[in-house]
C-alpha cells in the first residue's frame, strides 16, 4: 500500500549545495573574434563554443534560414522511401503511420499523417499502448495492420531494432519504411527503406535530428518530388520544434534552424491543438524552448503515460476549436494526475531512503514498489537524482516483472553500469544518462547489490555534489538592452546551445525581496551602485533571511519577462552563496 501521502507532501527538502565551476576559454581567440565582429566578449565566447571563428560562419549561425536545411535525398534510403510511398499512393494502397507514445512519436505521427493526407485519403495511424504493448513495433500493431488491409507501414520514432516484427510484417505482405533517430542494433530490419542518419554508411551531414525531424525530412523529400516549395512545409514546423524540445536533442546545426522557425510558427500561428493547450497554460506569446519542455511537452506526454496517446494525436490533428478544447482539458486532467503520481512516488521513495540509514554510504539508489505507476517512474527517478545526486533506478511491477527507469548524474554512464549486471536482466536499453530495464521480481535484491558494486569503483572520481558550469563573471552594470540583443541572437537555447550561466559577486537586495508561494524568491538586485534588476530564485526561499541581511553571490541566466504588455530583463537565479568563495 502507498504511504500516507498527506503527511509526506508538505516535506520540502533543502536544495543540495552546488559547486560553481568556470568553463575554460581561449582568451586570445575571444579577443580576436570580438574585434572582428565588433561585439561584446560574451557573444564572442558563445560563437567559439559553437566552433565558429570566422565572420561568414557567425553570420550563418546568427541568421538562420530554411535554405540552410540539407537536401533530404542525401539521407540513405530516402529515394527508396519516396518511391515506395509514391507507388502506394498511385495504387491506392492503405498506409499506416506507426509511432511511439511519447511527444516525439505523437508529433511525428501527426506530421506524416497530415502531410500525406494531402496526397491520399487511404491512410491510418497507430500508437501502441504503453502498458499492454510496450515500446516499439508490437505484434498487436502488425495484427492491426493485417486486419485493416494495410500494405505499407511507416514507423516514426521507432522501428530501427524491430528486426523480427518487420520480418513478420513481410510474411503478411506488409512493407515497412522505418523513420528513426535511435542507434541501430547489430542487425538492421529488412525494410523497404530505413531513414536513420545513425545507421552505417549514411552520409547525411547532421546526425542528431529528432524522430519528428526525420519525419519532416521525409515530407520535405516527398514534397520536393511532387513540386512543393520548402516554404509550404512551414505549417509543420511547430510539431518539429515541440519534438526537438521534448526529446532533449541538441539544438545545433539543422535542429537549430528547425527549432528557430518552429518557434516562430508556434508563437505567430499555432495550430488549434497547440492554441488550446497554451490557453490552459496561460502562455500564448514569446514561447521559448523551456516553455515547451515544462509546459506543452508534459501535457502531450501525459496522454501516453496515464491513458491513450492517440488523444494527443487527435488534439493536434483537429481544426475544430471545440474539439481541441475538450482534448486539451482532458490532457490537462491527465497531467495533473501524472503530477500526483509523481509526487507520491518521490515522497514514498524519500521516506524509504530515510528509513535506511545504512544506505547513506551507497553510491547508488535502487528502489522497488509494486504499486508505483509505470508511466511516471522515469520522472520520479529524475527527482530523486536532483535530491540525492546519486545514479537512481526506480522499479515497479508490470505484467509480472520488475520494470524500471534509470537516471544518472553528470559524467556517469549509467547504461554501462546496468550492462555489467545484464546476467540478472531480461532486457535493458538506453544511453549514458537514462535507461530502461526489466527483470524478474525475485532478482531485484540481487540486482541492487550488483548495481551498487558496479557503481562504486566507477564513481570515485566524480564530485559528490552537483556542479554548475558558468560561462563568465559578469558585472550587473553590463546587462543592458544592447547586450541582451546580442545574447538573444543565439536563441533558441537548449542542449548543445545552452543559455549561458553567469556569476556576479557581491550583489545586494534593494529592499524588495519577497517570498512567493512559500518556496520562491523574488528579488531586485544591484551591485556597486548599479541600477536595479529583477531576479527570480525558484525553490530557494530558504535564502530569504540571508539576502535581506548581507551581500551575496549569484549564479544565473538572463531572460525576458513579459507581463501586462511590458517586457523587462530578469535574472533566473540558479544558486545563491554567502560569504567568501573558496
Helix orientation angle between 310-317 and 297-306, rounded to the nearest 10 degrees: 140
Secondary structure letter of residue 475 according to DSSP: -
Structure confidence by residue, pLDDT tens digits, 389-423: 999 999 999 889 999 999 998 888 998 999 999 99
1 pLDDT band, cuts 50/70/90, is very low
58 has pLDDT over 70: yes
- Grid cell, residue 416, equals 554501462
Contact in structure between 324 and 315 (CB atoms under 8 Å): yes
Q: Round to whole Å and give the CA distance between 5 and 214.
A: 43
Stretch among 44-58, 69-83, 108-122, 461-475 having the lowest mean pLDDT: 461-475
Contact in structure between 134 and 162 (CB atoms under 8 Å): no
Q: Round to whole Å and give the CA distance between 572 and 553.
A: 13
Whole-number pLDDT of residue 462: 63
Mean of pLDDT values over 494-521 = 93
Whole-number pLDDT of residue 7: 33
Contact in structure between 435 and 429 (CB atoms under 8 Å): yes
Q: How many CB atoms lie within 10 A of CB 143?
A: 12
Stretch among 23-27, 103-107, 327-331, 461-465 having the lowest mean pLDDT: 461-465
- Grid cell, residue 135, equals 515500446
441 has pLDDT over 80: yes
Q: Round to whole Å and give the CA distance between 255 and 213.
A: 8
Q: Round to whole Å and give the CA distance between 475 and 347.
A: 40
Q: Round to whole Å and give the CA distance between 387 and 380.
A: 11
Mean of pLDDT values over 208-231 = 97
360 has pLDDT over 60: yes
Please name each of the domains of the chain with its CATH number.
19-63+468-577 (2.40.50.460), 72-228 (3.90.1640.30), 356-459 (3.10.310.30)
Contact in structure between 211 and 104 (CB atoms under 8 Å): yes
| % pLDDT > 90, the chain | 77
Mean of pLDDT values over 297-309 = 88
* CA-to-CA separations, 117 to 177, 238, 310, 385, in angstroms, rounded: 17, 18, 17, 44
- Grid cell, residue 33, equals 573574434
10 pLDDT band, cuts 50/70/90, is very low
Structure confidence by residue, pLDDT tens digits, 66-94: 999 999 999 999 999 999 999 999 999 99
5 has pLDDT over 50: no
**Percent of the chain as helix, strand, coil, to the nearest 5:** 45, 20, 35
Whole-number pLDDT of residue 15: 55
Structure confidence by residue, pLDDT tens digits, 124-153: 999 998 878 877 899 999 999 999 999 999
284 pLDDT band, cuts 50/70/90, is low
Q: What is the dihedral of CA 526, 528, 529, 534, to 10 degrees?
A: -10
- Grid cell, residue 534, equals 529583477
3-state secondary structure of 401: strand
8 pLDDT band, cuts 50/70/90, is very low
459 pLDDT band, cuts 50/70/90, is confident
Structure confidence by residue, pLDDT tens digits, 338-357: 999 999 999 999 999 988 87
Quickly list DSSP for 80-106. Answer: HHHHHHHHHHHTT-EEEEEE-SSHHHH
Contact in structure between 182 and 196 (CB atoms under 8 Å): yes
Q: How many CB atoms lie within 10 A of CB 69?
A: 19
Indicate the helix (H) or strand (E) that contains 168.
helix 163-171
Place of cell 510474411: 171
Contact in structure between 153 and 165 (CB atoms under 8 Å): no
Contact in structure between 395 and 403 (CB atoms under 8 Å): yes
* Mean pLDDT, the chain, integer: 91
Structure confidence by residue, pLDDT tens digits, 316-343: 999 999 999 999 999 999 999 999 999 9
170 pLDDT band, cuts 50/70/90, is very high
Stretch among 251-265, 392-406, 427-441, 517-531 having the lowest mean pLDDT: 427-441
pTM value?
Answer: 0.90
532 has pLDDT over 70: yes
Mean of pLDDT values over 553-581 = 89
Q: Round to whole Å and give the CA distance between 578 and 19.
A: 13
318 Cβ contact partners less than 8 Å away, ≥ 6 residues apart: 272, 273, 324, 327
3-state secondary structure of 206: coil
Amino acid at each position: 500500500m502507498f504511504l500516507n501521502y498527506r503527511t509526506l507532501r508538505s516535506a520540502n527538502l533543502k536544495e543540495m549545495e552546488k559547486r560553481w565551476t568556470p568553463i575554460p576559454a581561449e582568451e586570445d581567440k575571444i579577443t580576436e573574434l570580438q574585434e572582428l565582429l565588433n561585439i561584446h566578449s560574451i557573444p564572442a565566447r558563445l560563437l567559439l563554443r559553437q566552433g565558429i571563428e570566422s565572420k561568414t560562419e557567425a553570420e550563418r549561425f546568427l541568421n538562420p534560414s530554411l535554405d540552410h536545411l540539407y537536401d533530404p535525398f542525401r539521407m540513405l534510403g530516402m529515394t527508396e522511401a519516396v518511391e515506395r510511398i509514391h507507388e502506394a499512393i498511385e495504387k491506392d494502397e492503405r498506409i499506416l503511420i506507426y509511432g511511439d507514445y511519447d511527444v516525439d512519436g505523437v508529433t511525428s505521427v501527426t506530421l506524416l499523417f497530415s502531410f500525406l493526407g494531402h496526397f491520399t485519403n487511404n491512410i491510418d495511424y497507430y500508437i501502441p499502448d504503453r502498458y499492454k504493448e510496450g515500446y516499439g513495433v508490437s505484434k498487436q500493431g502488425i495484427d492491426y495492420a493485417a486486419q485493416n488491409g494495410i500494405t505499407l507501414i511507416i514507423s516514426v520514432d521507432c522501428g530501427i531494432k524491430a528486426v523480427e516484427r518487420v520480418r513478420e510484417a513481410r510474411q503478411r505482405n506488409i512493407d515497412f519504411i522505418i523513420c528513426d533517430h535511435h542507434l541501430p542494433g547489430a542487425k538492421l530490419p529488412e525494410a523497404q527503406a530505413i531513414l536513420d542518419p545513425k545507421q552505417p554508411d549514411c552520409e547525411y551531414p547532421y546526425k542528431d535530428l529528432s524522430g519528428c525531424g526525420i519525419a519532416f525530412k521525409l515530407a520535405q523529400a516527398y514534397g520536393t518530388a511532387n513540386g512543393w516549395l520548402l516554404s509550404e512545409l512551414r505549417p509543420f514546423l511547430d510539431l518539429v520544434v515541440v519534438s526537438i524540445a521534448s526529446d532533449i536533442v541538441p539544438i545545433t546545426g539543422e535542429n537549430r534552424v528547425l527549432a528557430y522557425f518552429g518557434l516562430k510558427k508556434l508563437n505567430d500561428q499555432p495550430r488549434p491543438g497547440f492554441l488550446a493547450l497554451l490557453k490552459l497554460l496561460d502562455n500564448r506569446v514569446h514561447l521559448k524552448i523551456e516553455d515547451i519542455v515544462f509546459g506543452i511537452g508534459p501535457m502531450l506526454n501525459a496522454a501516453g503515460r496515464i491513458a491513450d496517446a492517440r488523444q494527443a494525436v487527435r488534439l493536434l490533428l483537429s481544426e475544430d476549436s471545440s474539439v481541441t478544447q475538450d482534448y486539451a482539458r482532458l490532457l490537462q486532467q491527465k497531467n495533473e494526475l501524472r503530477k500526483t503520481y509523481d509526487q507520491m512516488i518521490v515522497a514514498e521513495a524519500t521516506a524509504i531512503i530515510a528509513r535506511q540509514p545504512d544506505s547513506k554510504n551507497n553510491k547508488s539508489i535502487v528502489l522497488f514498489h509494486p504499486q508505483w505507476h509505470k508511466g511516471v517512474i522515469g520522472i520520479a527517478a529524475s527527482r530523486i537524482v536532483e535530491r540525492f545526486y546519486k545514479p537512481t533506478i526506480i522499479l515497479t511491477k508490470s505484467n509480472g516483472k520488475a520494470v524500471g527507469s534509470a537516471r544518472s548524474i553528470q559524467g556517469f554512464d549509467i547504461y554501462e553500469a546496468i550492462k555489467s549486471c545484464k546476467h540478472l536482466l531480461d532486457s535493458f536499453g538506453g544511453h549514458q544518462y537514462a535507461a530502461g530495464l526489466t527483470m524478474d521480481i525475485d532478482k531485484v535484491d540481487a540486482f541492487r547489490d550488483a548495481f551498487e558494486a558496479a557503481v562504486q569503483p566507477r564513481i570515485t572520481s566524480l564530485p559528490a555534489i552537483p556542479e554548475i558550469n558558468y560561462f563568465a563573471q559578469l558585472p550587473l552594470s553590463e546587462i543592458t538592452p544592447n547586450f541582451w540583443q546580442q545574447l538573444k541572437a543565439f536563441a533558441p537555447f537548449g542542449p548543445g546551445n545552452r543559455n549561458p550561466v553567469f556569476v556576479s559577486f557581491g550583489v545586494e537586495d534593494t529592499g524588495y525581496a519577497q517570498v512567493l508561494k512559500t518556496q520562491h524568491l523574488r528579488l531586485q538586485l544591484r551591485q556597486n551602485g548599479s541600477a536595479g534588476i529583477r531576479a527570480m530564485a525558484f525553490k530557494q526561499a530558504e535564502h530569504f533571511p540571508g539576502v535581506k541581511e548581507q551581500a551575496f553571490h549569484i549564479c544565473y541566466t538572463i531572460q525576458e519577462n513579459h507581463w501586462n504588455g511590458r517586457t523587462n530583463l530578469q535574472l533566473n537565479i540558479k544558486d545563491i552563496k554567502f560569504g567568501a568563495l573558496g
